[in-house]
Structure formats: structure tokens, C-alpha cells
Amino acid sequence: MCSILGFFDLAGEPAAVRALALDRSRRLRHRGPDWSGVYSDAGCVLAHERLAIVDVAHGAQPLRSADRTLVLAVNGEIYNHAELRERLDYDFQTGSDCEVILALYATRGPEAAAAWLEELNGIFAFALWDAARGRALVARDPIGVVPLYWGRDRDGQRVVASEMKALHDLCSSFEPFPPGHVFDSGADGQAATAYYRPAWRDLSGANGADDPEHLRAVLDAAVRRQLMSDVPYGALVSGGLDSSIVAALAEGHRRLRVEAGGQEEAWWPRLHTFATGLEGSPDLAAARQVADVLGTVHHELVYTVQEGLDALRDVIWHIETYDVTTIRASTPMYLMARRIRAMGIKMVLSGEGADEIFGGYLYFHKAPNAAELHAETVRKLGDLHLYDCLRANKSMAAWGVEARVPFLDREVLEVAMSIDPRHKMTRQPGGEAPRMEKHILRKAFEGLLPDEILWRQKEQFSDGVGYRWIDSLRALAEEEVSDDRLERAEHRFPIHPPRTKEAYLYRRIFDELFPGEAAARTVPGGPSIACSSAAAVAWDADFAESADPSGRAVAGVHRDAW
């Protein structure tokens, strides 16, 4: 991952704004420790911190057009850049995958941005400055895999930044830039507009057949695309279904490349896999089994409860949320990322997104019908940039590691979300025995993994690292937060007041780091059961009483439910 920071509608002297941008960009340097770049003129300042993964020697940013009038700062990867390069009549200056954004703007124009953004297959957040027109274009990928915030500072200057910490004490108002949207300063209005409007958001667009072979082929192609790298890479393996599938497909492509005798794409001789957990955790044991089957170079990070507790404040600073599930899961991921970077790995593949697409969380067992299940998957994908995408991106980026997520590839989304949701239901008509969650995904990859992994029950990452982890967090909160303080929580935290002592603890730390109403509103609120949306809590009468983000809160489904 990289970071971007942009100032537009300059109110002060460009030199002073440039100095401010450099100062603020330093707060984001963990995302891009390899190089820093800045551009400034009378209308714009763009700063960039680079994590070099593609075209390491020549891809420094901000990127410039040949005539020097177009300037681009990007955080992300464009996986189909080679295909787009062949179609575009443009004078490319580098081998950077992100330069195709400049090419599309130059050849298609800003008015057609909604159309040409649809051609990009990748994860991205970018700010583009057209100096000749005095026009700015800002956009974010369809799901929001890459973070982006925007707001106005006290002088009315528009500010965009990869992370909130660069602008929270600078801007009087700010918010996450919406995924799948684009802002054009040359168009009427000051709001971002949607360019990503998939048919599957409506139930009428989800009527496709359950085709395991097609699903397998599409995900396999996505993994292959996302292996695009000029530096060593790895895969995160929790021992669960999703990450194991991604690692198995990546290893399969690596072997094919090596057997063909070609290393021109710098696909490394061995695939390294990484797992983390407390001593004796179920994830560590399952991940070890996956690595043995695949023959990867496997690394385990066994952390202690105390190490995790010691890191909490740093984790909240980096991930910028007070959401309970996100913090529970981010902490071991944050600790693991440091070890990954220490080993020289700068990019990892991960399994985020599968549970949202296929109804994999255990509360989906309670979905009353297919229509409700589909609506929930759409809701979950719409908010994913505030939860799992935020966790995976920022936990890894804290140590200069990029996380890629093949399940959220645009082509995978199109196929998987267009499947008739009746095929995703665990409850079956006619009184048949319930099927396992993500049944269609498991069937699609039969033979690729051992049955013990392929049919392992869904275990949320914060549970799988070891049940003692959540239990210890709850115990810490019990010590730190009194009953009286929790009862008065709504007075101290009127926006999304915490309902548990654990939530209160995280909220208190967040408020110390990011004070103010604008920061508090960047985090969603409402009840949740085992990672559900607030709407899905109504699926079961017991949910309202026992709501907790852990999968163990789903009584009668999780084998070790509370």
C-alpha cells in the first residue's frame, strides 16, 4: 500500500500549503516507506508515500503526463493495466500499473470518468490534478478495499487523505470517501457521484445458476491477476476455508510458472504462508495442515495475550476505529504484519470478502428466506470498507505491507453475487437437513484441499486465534471500566454509545486519539450478532439478548457457543 494526500481549492500561498502537506504526509509514511514525492502549483498540492511493488525503479509518484499538465497520486493496484495499455494511444512514461489512469483520463476525458472507471480491475484510491483545466478528479474502488477520507479544512481547502490521522485535527468536517464513487471538481455540485452500479444489488439481478466449475475458474483467474508483483509476496493462511483456497490457487499458479521455466513476471521460487494465534490456537493447527499439503514455506507467529493487550492503543491509532470485532481481529493481524515485513515480504494475498459474498458468517444460518439473505450480503458488501477491508488494509499497511483480496475482484463479485441466493441458504426446503455455510464455495473447490479444511466450520479470525484472546479482552475491560461509567456512556459518547465494557474501553482510547464528532461518525454503530448488520439482528429473537460480534454468540450453530 501507499498513501496519498491532496489539497485543492488552495486558500493560502502554495509554498505554505506544500509545507503543510509534507508535514501531514509524514503521518502516513508507514503505508509507503520506500519513497516520498510531492507536487505543487497555484491550485493543488499532492503528496505521496510509496510502497514499491510494481516497476520498483521507475514508478515513483506523483505520476506526470508527458506534457507535465496531468498529475496523479494513487494508492492501489490496477490488475488489468497491461490489457488497457494495449488499447490506449498514450505516451506512457513508466511501467507503473497505475499510469493507465492518466492514460484513460487523457484519452477519454473527465466527463466520461464514470465509464472508464468501470474498465479498471483493481483496488485504488486516487487524486488526479489537471493543471491546464484547473480540475481535480478523485475516485475510490468499487468496494473500498483501499481507504480514503476527505473534508474541508478551516480555510475551506478540500483535503483528501488515505488515513484519517492526516486530517482529523485539520479539517472542521470530514468523512470516508464513498466506495465506487468519483468526484469531479469541474462538474456541477460538490458531492461524489456513483459510477459502480452492479445489477446484483437488486434481487432481480441475482438469478444465476450455481455453477461450481465457473465459480472456481473465475476465482482462479482473479488470484492469478493479483499475483502481479516485482517483489517477494506471500499469503495469509488462518486454516479456514477462504484463505486456504486463495493460498492453494496461488501455489498452483506458482508451480505452473516454474514448471514452464518462466520467471519473467518475477513469481518467486517458493510461496511463503503466514499464520498467527495464541499458543495452541485452532487456527495455527489448521494453517499448519494447509501449509503441509501445499508445500509452502510456512511461518507461525505465536503471540501472547499480554503482547496483544500492549498493542491495543497502537492498533486503534492505525486502524482508526472503535468497532469491537475490528479491533479484536486487527490486533493479531497487526502483530503478524510486523513479522512479515521483517522477512522482506511486501505483499500478501488474503481471504477477506468470501463471508459477505456467500453468506458465510454463522448468523446467516438464521436467515428467514433467500431474499433476506441476499439483502444482507448486499448490506455487508456496502459496509465492508468500514470493517474487514479497513482491518486488512490498515493492519498490514501499519508496517508497509499490502494486502490483496481476490474474493473482492470485480469479476468474482459479478459471478458470485449474481447466483440465486437460494443456493446460499443453509436451511433447505422440505425439512431437509441444513447445509453448511458457504456450501457452494466448498463444493466448487472439492479436491483442492483436505476435507478437514474444506468442511471446517466458519471461525471468525478473532475467535480462531484462540478463544482466550476475546476472553482476555473482556476481562481487561471489566477491570478498566466501572459499572457506573458504562451506565453513563451515552452522556460521554452521545454518538453510538458503547453497550459493553469492552466497547467502552475501545471508544475511550479512540476518543483520546481522534477527538471530536466528525471522527466518531466515521465509525458505524448499531447492534450486531456475530458480525451481522443491525438489520439481521431481527432474524432471531435470541439475537437481541445475546448480541456479540463473536461467532460463539450464535447458539445452536457454533460448536463452542457461549
Q: Which residue numbers are catalytic?
A: 2
Q: Which residues contact 41 (CB under 8 A, 6 or more apart)?
A: 14, 131
Extended beta strands in 186-336, E state: 193-194, 233-236, 272-277, 297-302
Q: How many CA atoms lie within 13 A of 233 on its CB side?
A: 27
* CB atoms near residue 186 (< 10 Å): 12
Q: HEC string of 402-423?
A: EEECHHHCHHHHHHHHCECHHH
Which residue, among 339, 329, 247, has the nearest Cα to 301 in the 3D structure? 339
Exposed/middle/buried for residue 397 (C-beta within 10 Å: 0-12, 13-18, 19+): buried
User: Which helix (H) or strand (E) is 453 found in, with range?
Assistant: helix 451-454
Q: Are 517 and 510 in contact (CB under 8 A)?
A: no
Residue 202 C-alpha cell reads as 437488486
Distance, CA of 200 to CA of 366 (rounded, Å): 22
**Positive or negative torsion for Cα 167, 125, 53, 36:** negative
Partners of 274 in the β-ladder: 236, 299
The edge-to-edge listing of strands for the beta sheet with 347-349 is 297-302, 272-277, 233-236, 347-349, 402-404
